Structure formats: C-alpha cells, structure tokens
Structure 1
Amino acid sequence: MNLDNGNGGKAMCQKYIIFFNPRAGDGKAQKIADDIQKRLKIRGQDVAQLVAGGRTEAIQMLIGELPQAKAVICIGGDGSLNAVLTAFVRAKKSVPVGLIPNGTVNNFAQKWGIPLDQNKAFAKIMENNLHSVGIGKCAGQAVVSSLAFGSLASISNDVRQSEKKKYGLAVYGFNAVKNLRKNHSYKTEFYNDVFSMPAKVWFCLITTTDFVGGRRYLGTRSDGLHVTMLNNMKFSKLLNYGYFALTGNLRKSTTLTSFDVKKLIIKTTDGKLTGTRIDGDPGPDLPVKIEWLPNFVSFFM
C-alpha cells in the first residue's frame, strides 16, 4: 500500500485525497493523478495519492483516511467510484467527491453531466459547486449505478477485460445473442414490508437513476431504485427491447415487468445459486437486501 503526499513522506493534515487504480488505462490514471496533485499544490492545497494493492485494501485505507479528508477525487469509472462510496457506507461518513472519468462506460458521469475531459472535470471540482446524490446499499456495499442478476449478468461475468477493451459494449450484446439458448430463467421472490411478488426472471436490472450504460433508458427521474425485469428471452424480442432502451422508454415495452421501490429483498425459490453484478463487477449471491440512501453524498458538479 502507499499513501504519497508528495512531501517526502512527512505527515500532514490531508485535505484532498486522490484515489485511483494505478493499473487502469495502461497507466493513464497515474499520469492524471500526478497532474491533479501538481495543480492542487500550486493552489496551496494539501493533497495525497491513495494507492492500494486491491479493492478490499483500498476501502480500508479510505475509511482510515476519511477523518483527515476535505474531499476525495476519484479517477476512474463506476467501479472505482463504487470503492470510494463503499468506504463511506461502511464508515457511516462521507466527504465531498470529485470525479475525473476514466472508465469504460462512465455511466455516473454521463448521468450527472460531469465532463469526460480531464481538464474540464478538474475545473468543475475547482468551482466548488456541490450536489447531493442518492445511491443504493447492498450487503455493506454501495450501488452507484446498478445491480443486476440473471442470465445476462452471468454472461457479463464471462466477458474478459481484454474483450471489453477491444470490442467495447458490443461484446455484451454479442455474447447475449450467442448464449440465448443456453441460459434460463430463475424462480425469484421480491418483497419488503408492504408487498411480496413471485416472478420468473431471465434478467433483472436495478438502477439508481434513469441511466444505464451511459444512456438514458427510462422516462422517469424519480428518486429511488428502479427495477426492470425480463421474464424470459427470445431472439424475436431483442429488437423490441433494443428499440425502447435506445429511445429512453424501456418501460413502454409490454413484455417487461417494472416498478420503483426504496427497499427490496430478493431471493431465489428454486434453490439455484445466483450471483449479482454491482456497477459492472461481481457482487454477492442472492439472497440480497438493497435499499435506497437519499442524498447520501455530495459531488462537485
């Protein structure tokens, strides 16, 4: 692990913590971090880079540094941002966050209008305008943009990082079509304090906003968790789903089940082991409880 304040290792009260994965983007994140650190120090700010060997270590380091932090600047996509907000969830404390998008999709940045250009994103942080954002919480982990489970989520788990870099988002669609006949629906129950609903689910997507994959897919902008599920999948339905998703009106498709909720417990009832994906990375197996945390953290926007 390493916490480099760029001051010869001397301890000082850190104000800005720069968090990133140094192995992401062929070393680009490290170059961005160095540039941001230089700019902040020119402005007379105390700053430290937080670099960890893995996600678990990074979260623990972030929790330890929160009492000294004025703000966290995260360089990366939804996955890196998830680590930061998971630290906040577990610490039950947050500080303002600035995002320098450097991921594959950058869904959160696309939703909230955070510039994808490094210099423009940094300028937004320096404007010091804060906006409160709600997120999801599941099994002690933040849900920044989405939680998904079902056959499509399982297919996504099989996509290699090298394939994603080479083909982009198209690799998910290709693998989905290729594996349509190999995957199946799961007998599932959705419930909370006021309702219970059994369902046969081929794929379920739960989002914290009206954006997914960097695009608006819902007409609603209400706060809370947005649940959309496909009960089964056939090749003949792909064009139907694709049209409504691309036009931002997925819920107008009559072949989907959808609703909004603040808290939800999900479990399978057929005994099949079912994993989840949170913000694009593998998450806990069902059963899970997911809840909405309104105005949980402030972002520079």
Structure 2
Amino acid sequence: MLKCFVIINPSSGKIRYKEYLPELTNVLKQKFSEIELVYTEKKGDGIHYGLTTDADTVIVVGGDGTIREVVNGLMQQERVPKLGVIPAGTVNDLARALNIPLHPFKAIAVLKKDTVKYIDVG
C-alpha cells in the first residue's frame, strides 16, 4: 500500500492551485492507494508536515520557501520519502534547477513518468 502526502501552500505565488488540483489527484490515484492533502497556514507548517509524515512520497505544491520548510522536516526523519514538486511560487529556483516544468499541468505530467533524481540538499 503506497501512500502519498500532498502539502499545498494555498498562498504561494500567483498560481491558483484549485485549477489543477483535480488533475494532480487523478494522476496520483493511478500510483498510490492512499492520498492525503494538507494545507499550510503559517510559517513552520511545512517543517511540521515534513517531519511527521509517514508517506512513501511527498508532493509539495508551493514555492521555494515551502519546499525548503518541507525538506527541513523530511531530513529529520530516519527514512526520507521521495519528494515531488509542483512549482507554484514566484521564482521556483529548485524547479528550474531540476528542469521541472514551471507550468503546473506540465509538472503534473512529469509525475506520471516516475523519474527520480538524487540531489544534495546542501
């Protein structure tokens, strides 16, 4: 049973996540038996969610700040899950560096490929 945990920053950037959330959910349903969606409300929520999830894969819908928080939480775990990114920030430096498409629907399409890149969190 594979579990996916989706962390959404609803105030990240200018992109309206509600427009592409159905497509993201449809893609994830094809790969995971359990999907949980949570929303950040304040600074530190990303760290908390990253630290407390027991999912196999975590998808972050947000910008660089949200990703940074989630990764800071994930790196404190004994077993670090896979991380997916749907860029929704203003600059999206990490997505650019990893060649993740900046358009949300194109980034969601990348999730279908199960491509894994190993990176140094520095």
Q: Which category of TM-score, normalised to the shorter sequence, fits these structures?
A: 0.7 to 0.9
Residue from 10, 14, 38 that aligns with 1:50: 38
Aligned to 2:86: 100
Aligned to 1:60: 48
Alignment of 1:204-223 (within 5 A): none
TM-score by length of structure 2 reads: 0.83
Does the 8 Å contact 1:37/1:48 carry over to 2?
no
Matches of 1:75 and 1:57 in 2, distance apart?
A: 13
* Displacement after TM superposition at 1:51 (Å): 1.4
Report the AA paired with residue 33 of structure 1. L
Q: Is residue 19 of structure 1 aligned with residue 3 of structure 2?
A: no
Matches of 2:97 and 2:46 in 1, distance apart?
A: 25
Does the 8 Å contact 2:50/2:72 carry over to 1?
no
Does the 8 Å contact 1:74/1:97 carry over to 2?
yes
| Divergent runs of 4+, >6 A | none
For the structure 1 residues 124 and 133, does the alpha-carbon distance in structure 2 shift closer, same or farther, using more than 3 Å as the test? Answer: same
Task: Write the deviation string for residues 27-48 of structure 1: whole angstroms up to 9, x where unpaired.
Answer: 712443343123323x263211
Matches of 2:43 and 2:51 in 1, distance apart?
A: 12
Matches of 1:57 and 1:48 in 2, distance apart?
A: 15
Matches of 1:31 and 1:48 in 2, distance apart?
A: 18
Structure 1 unaligned segments of length 5 or more: list them.
1-12, 137-301
Structure 2 unaligned segments of length 5 or more: list them.
none
Aligned to 2:97: 111
The structure with the largest strand share of the pair is 1
Percent of paired sites with the same residue: 25
Alignment of 1:14-163 (within 5 A): 15-25=3-13, 28-41=16-29, 43=30, 45=32, 46-65=34-53, 67=54, 69-136=55-122
Task: Write the deviation string for residues 131-150 of structure 1: whole angstroms up to 9, x where unpaired.
Answer: 100022xxxxxxxxxxxxxx
Does the 8 Å contact 2:58/2:82 carry over to 1?
yes
For the structure 1 residues 73 and 135, does the alpha-carbon distance in structure 2 shift closer, same or farther, using more than 3 Å as the test? Answer: same
Does the 8 Å contact 2:58/2:81 carry over to 1?
yes
For the structure 1 residues 57 and 84, does the alpha-carbon distance in structure 2 shift closer, same or farther, using more than 3 Å as the test? Answer: closer
* Greater relative CO (CA pairs within 8 A, separation 6+): 2
| Count of residue correspondences | 121
Does the 8 Å contact 2:12/2:63 carry over to 1?
no
Task: Write the deviation string for residues 3-38 of structure 1: whole angstroms up to 9, x where unpaired.
Answer: xxxxxxxxxx76111112112245712443343123
- Tell which structure's C-alpha radius of gyration is larger: 1
